[in-house]
């Protein structure tokens, strides 16, 4: 078998066999295939797509490229949650301590920033000392000891995803449904959780631009789960506007800590965290009544138990827990620019992609595979959609380390805001929930 023939076959739109996909993935992982051939194949998939059968084969090959975590008789209790990627999407950081404090063990493999979207690993690693590079043994031990661990795909956990993920990020091949589905589901299954909840995003800041495309992606992932005997629940949610107010790395962790302290009780971050926590509590059979589950989530947050669990997680993964009480412990940016509104009215919409692009220009994301990122930069949206604004009010704040980059970021962020004169209608947070049939 030759890689060039596999690329050519996909380029022409034919269905690849299991053997061809296995050969492609093993050549990728044992490095007998150069990056340029893998990149060409990714682009062929982007243009030609894959059938559901091919996508399942790809997912299996990616799972089998490394080890799988086996939690034994804990498997059915463990939850894993994953988002297909968004802007300001910090729901993993707000949700996971809540679930762990509620007695639901979490074993999560997260990703780094991808394209314009942020990555949970990058955000958490803005906490000085925090590392997601856990060995399988340490991840398992940590879940059993404190009920929560956040790892990353490593040399021996879905290594194929690690390589493809980094290549997709820099070859404009992220937003292909089979590539997203196989990347997400392979990590989830390899990580060993018995209950998988996916947040499938649509909108300007997501890889799927329409709710219909997100539903299609959600169905592909739920079907792969069915095929591989792992039930997946996919929740389709909007990413038209950044989630919460902070976009960046440490700024997002600070906003998450504020939520865990009980200081953020309304808005999209609070709504989605409550929604996902309630779904997880019901999925694991801990609750049958939705309102009782929701009330329990509230109790976990307001009692401080979720925040205590987050501190425990930081300590377990080598981070400095002082960040929880003193945000000055995070690396600080050199400049803080408060940008005033030029118009009065209501904020109608904030284009998530433009804000993300502005943040990337500040250095919050990567341009090339392996680039370092600047944890201290980002944007804080002082005004969000539906909120009244007077000319002169602070609209948003830029945290930067370079004045010219801050100016560029300002162009994108100011352009992201749209106004109207009447208070706009609020979008519902969940568009659809897809479960195995």
Give the torsion sign (CA, 316, 318, 321, 324).
negative
Residue 196 CA to residue 82 CA, distance in Å, equals 8
According to CB under 6 A, which one of 86, 88, 111, 248 is a site residue for ligand URA?
Answer: 111
Q: Which is nearer to ligand URA, 211 or 301 (CB)?
A: 211
A 10 A CB-CB count for 295 gives 13
Residue 242 CA to residue 240 CA, distance in Å, equals 7
Q: Which is nearer to ligand URA, 111 or 225 (CB)?
A: 111
What secondary structure does DSSP assign to 210-268, as a single string? SHHHHHHHHHHHHHHHHHTT--EEEEEEE-SS-SSSEEESHHHHHHHHHHHTT---SSH
CB of 84 to ligand URA, least distance (A): 5
What secondary structure does DSSP assign to 126-173, as a single string? TSTT------HHHHHHHHHHHSEEEEE--TTBSHHHHHHHHHHHHTT-
Helix, strand and coil content of the chain, in percent to the nearest 5, comes to 50, 15, 35
CB of 207 to ligand URA, least distance (A): 7
According to CB under 6 A, which one of 29, 114, 341, 406 is a site residue for ligand URA?
Answer: 114
Q: Are 399 and 379 in contact (CB under 8 A)?
A: yes
Residue 428 CA to residue 406 CA, distance in Å, equals 33
Counting residues that bind ligand URA (by CB under 6 A) gives 9
Residue 146 CA to residue 284 CA, distance in Å, equals 18
Write the binding mask 160 to 179 for ligand URA: x where contact by CB under 6 A, - elsewhere. Answer: -------------------x
CB of 46 to ligand URA, least distance (A): 12
CB of 43 to ligand URA, least distance (A): 15
According to CB under 6 A, which one of 180, 193, 236, 323 is a site residue for ligand URA?
Answer: 180
Set 140, 168, 349, 366: catalytic member:
168
Residue 302 CA to residue 259 CA, distance in Å, equals 10
CB of 223 to ligand URA, least distance (A): 17
What secondary structure does DSSP assign to 68-118, as a single string? ----GGGGGG-EEEEES--SS--HHHHHHHHHHHTT--EEEEE---BTTB-
CB of 147 to ligand URA, least distance (A): 23
Set 10, 81, 140, 187: catalytic member:
187
Q: Is 82 marked active-site?
A: yes
According to CB under 6 A, which one of 29, 38, 85, 248 is a site residue for ligand URA?
Answer: 85
Set 161, 268, 351, 374: catalytic member:
161
**What is the number of the residue whose Cβ is closest to ligand URA?**
183
Of the ranges 22-30, 181-189, 355-363, 413-421, which one interacts with ligand URA (CB under 6 A)?
181-189
Set 110, 183, 238, 333: catalytic member:
183
Of the ranges 124-132, 138-146, 180-188, 361-369, which one interacts with ligand URA (CB under 6 A)?
180-188
Q: Is 161 marked active-site?
A: yes
According to CB under 6 A, which one of 27, 37, 59, 84 is a site residue for ligand URA?
Answer: 84
Q: Is 177 marked active-site?
A: no
Write the binding mask 395 to 414 for ligand URA: x where contact by CB under 6 A, - elsewhere. Answer: --------------------
Q: Which of residues 182-221 bind ligand URA (CB under 6 A)?
A: 183-184, 187
CB of 163 to ligand URA, least distance (A): 13
244-276 b/e (C-beta count within 10 Å ≥ 16 → b):
bbbbbbbbbbbbbbbbbbeebeebbbbbbbbbb
Q: Is 168 marked active-site?
A: yes
Task: Tell me which residues touch ligand URA (CB under 6 A).
Answer: 84-85, 111, 114, 179-180, 183-184, 187
The residues annotated as belonging to the active site are 82, 161, 168, 183, 187
């Amino acid at each position: 078998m030759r890689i060039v023939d596999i690329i050519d076959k996909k380029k022409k739109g034919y269905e690849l066999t299991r053997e061809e996909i296995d050969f492609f993935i093993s050549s990728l992982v044992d490095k007998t295939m150069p990056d340029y051939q893998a990149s060409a194949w990714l682009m062929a998939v982007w243009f030609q797509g894959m059938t559901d059968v091919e996508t399942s084969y790809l997912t299996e090959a990616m799972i089998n490229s490394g080890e799988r975590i086996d939690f034994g008789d804990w498997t059915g209790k463990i939850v894993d949650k994953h988002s297909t990627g968004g802007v300001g999407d910090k729901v993993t950081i707000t949700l996971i301590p809540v679930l762990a404090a509620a007695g639901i063990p979490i074993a999560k493999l997260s990703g780094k920033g991808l394209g314009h979207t942020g990555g949970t690993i990058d955000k958490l690693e803005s906490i000085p000392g925090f590392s997601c590079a856990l060995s399988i043994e340490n991840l398992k031990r940590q879940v059993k000891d404190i009920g929560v661990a956040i790892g990353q795909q490593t040399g021996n956990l879905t290594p194929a995803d690690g390589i493809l993920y980094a290549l997709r990020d820099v070859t404009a091949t992220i937003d292909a449904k089979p590539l997203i589905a196989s990347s997400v589901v392979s990590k989830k299954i390899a990580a060993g959780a018995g209950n998988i909840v996916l947040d499938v995003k649509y909108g300007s800041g997501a890889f799927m631009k329409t709710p219909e495309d997100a539903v299609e992606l959600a169905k592909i992932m739920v079907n792969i789960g069915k095929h591989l005997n792992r039930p997946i629940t996919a929740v389709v949610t909007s990413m038209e506007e950044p989630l919460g107010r902070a976009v960046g790395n440490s700024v997002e962790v600070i906003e998450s800590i504020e939520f865990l302290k009980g200081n953020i009780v309304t808005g999209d971050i609070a709504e989605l965290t409550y929604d996902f926590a309630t779904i997880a509590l019901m999925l694991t059979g801990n609750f049958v009544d939705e309102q009782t589950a929701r009330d329990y989530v509230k109790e976990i947050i307001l009692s401080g138990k979720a925040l205590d669990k987050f501190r425990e997680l930081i300590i377990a993964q080598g981070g400095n827990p002082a960040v929880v009480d003193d945000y000055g412990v995070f690396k600080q940016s050199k400049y803080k620019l408060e940008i005033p509104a030029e118009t009065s009215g209501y904020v109608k919409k904030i284009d998530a992609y433009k804000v993300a692009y502005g943040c990337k220009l500040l250095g919050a994301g990567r341009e090339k595979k392996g680039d370092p990122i600047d944890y201290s930069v980002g944007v804080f949206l002082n005004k969000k959609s539906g909120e009244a604004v007077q000319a002169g009010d602070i609209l948003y704040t830029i945290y930067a380390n370079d004045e010219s980059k801050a100016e560029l970021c300002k162009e994108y962020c100011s352009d992201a805001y749209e106004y109207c004169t009447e208070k706009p209608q609020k979008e519902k947070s969940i568009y659809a929930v897809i479960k195995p049939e």
